[in-house]
Amino acid sequence: MPHRPHLRKIALPSWLPLDGFILGLIGTVALAALLPVSGRAATVTDGATTVAVAFLFFLYGARLSTREALDGVRHWRLHLTVLVCTFVVFPALGLAARGLVPYVLTHPLYTGLLFLCLVPSTVQSSIAFTSIARGNVAAAICAGSFSSLLGVVVTPVLAALLLGGSGGGFSADSMVKIGLQLLAPFLAGQLLRRWIGGFISRHRAVLRLVDRGSVLLVVYAAFSEGMTRGIWHQVTPARLAILLGVEAVLLTVMLTLTSYGSRKLGFVREDRITIVFAGSKKSLAAGLPMASVLFGAQASLAVLPLMLFHQMQLMVCAVLARRYAARAPEAAVTGAETGAEAARARTDSEDRADSADSADDAALTRV
Which amino acid, one-letter code, is at 169? G
Query: pLDDT at position 164, please?
Result: 67
CB 78 within 8 A of CB 206: no
Could you tell me where the DSSP H helices lie in 64-183?
66-71, 76-84, 90-96, 107-116, 124-132, 137-162, 172-178
Residues present in the chain in total? 367
Give the CA count within 13 Å in the CB-facing half-sphere of 11: 7
CA distance 24 to 35: 16
SS3 21: helix
Cα–Cα distances (Å) from 235 to 142, 199, 300, 311, in that order, read 39, 44, 11, 19
Distance of CA 135 to the CA centre of its chain: 20
- Phi/psi region, residue 39 (left: phi>0; alpha: psi -120 to 50; beta: rest), is left
Cα–Cα distances (Å) from 227 to 200, 222, 238, 336, in that order, read 37, 9, 19, 48
CA distance 125 to 364: 9
Instruction: Please give the chain's pLDDT, 367 residues, in tens.
Output: 444 444 444 454 544 455 677 788 788 888 988 888 888 888 888 888 888 888 877 887 787 666 655 555 678 899 999 999 999 999 999 999 999 998 899 888 999 999 999 999 987 778 888 888 989 887 887 888 788 888 888 988 898 888 865 554 445 565 666 677 777 888 898 889 888 888 887 887 777 788 778 878 887 887 787 777 666 666 788 888 999 999 999 999 999 999 999 999 999 999 999 999 999 999 887 888 888 888 876 777 788 899 889 888 988 888 898 889 888 775 454 444 444 444 444 344 334 333 334 443 343 334 4
Share of residues in the chain with pLDDT > 70 (%): 75
DSSP 35: S
CB 109 within 8 A of CB 239: yes
pLDDT digits (tens, 9 = 90+) for 313-343: 988 888 898 889 888 775 454 444 444 444 4
Contacts of 209 (CB under 8 A, 6+ apart): none
CB 78 within 8 A of CB 274: yes
CA distance 362 to 19: 6
Predicted TM-score (pTM) of the model is 0.72
Query: pLDDT at position 214, please?
Result: 82
Cα–Cα distances (Å) from 22 to 19, 63, 141, 319, in that order, read 6, 23, 24, 18
Query: pLDDT at position 174, please?
Result: 58
CB 155 within 8 A of CB 285: no
Query: pLDDT at position 245, please?
Result: 96
